[in-house]
Amino acid sequence: MNAQMVLTMGQEALLMLLMVSSPVLGAALVVGLLVSLFQAVTQIHEATLAFVPKLVAVIAVFAIAGPWMLTMLVEYIRRTIEAIPASVV
């Protein structure tokens, strides 16, 4: 295993991390922005009002995009494990 192979594997891992986490983080960001806007307009500053909608949105995204996320991670792990014999040489 040379340095180029290690850097490529690290780059693929970071790209996978971004692809898998972006739906959940995006949903939390959008819902948080909407709740903050609602709180600013109505001047209601309740802590649960900020937390509960984000939690519901993240759970919904996991329910919808969860199978895709799991498939992507399993395929990455499969490719990584299959690359072990070639890197040992």
Return per-residue pLDDT of the chain as tens, 89 residues: 788 888 998 999 999 999 999 999 999 999 999 999 998 899 888 878 889 999 999 999 999 999 999 999 999 999 999 988 887 76
Q: Where are the domains of the chain?
A: 21-84
Calpha distance 30→20 (Å, rounded): 17
Query: Residues 48, 51, 54, 59: is their CA dihedral positive or negative?
Result: negative
Whole-structure pTM over 0.75, yes or no? Answer: yes
* 51 residue type, one letter: F
* 52 residue type, one letter: V
- DSSP alpha helices (H): ranges in the chain? 3-42, 47-82, 84-88
Calpha distance 80→71 (Å, rounded): 14
Q: What are phi and psi of 31, to 5 degrees?
A: -65, -40
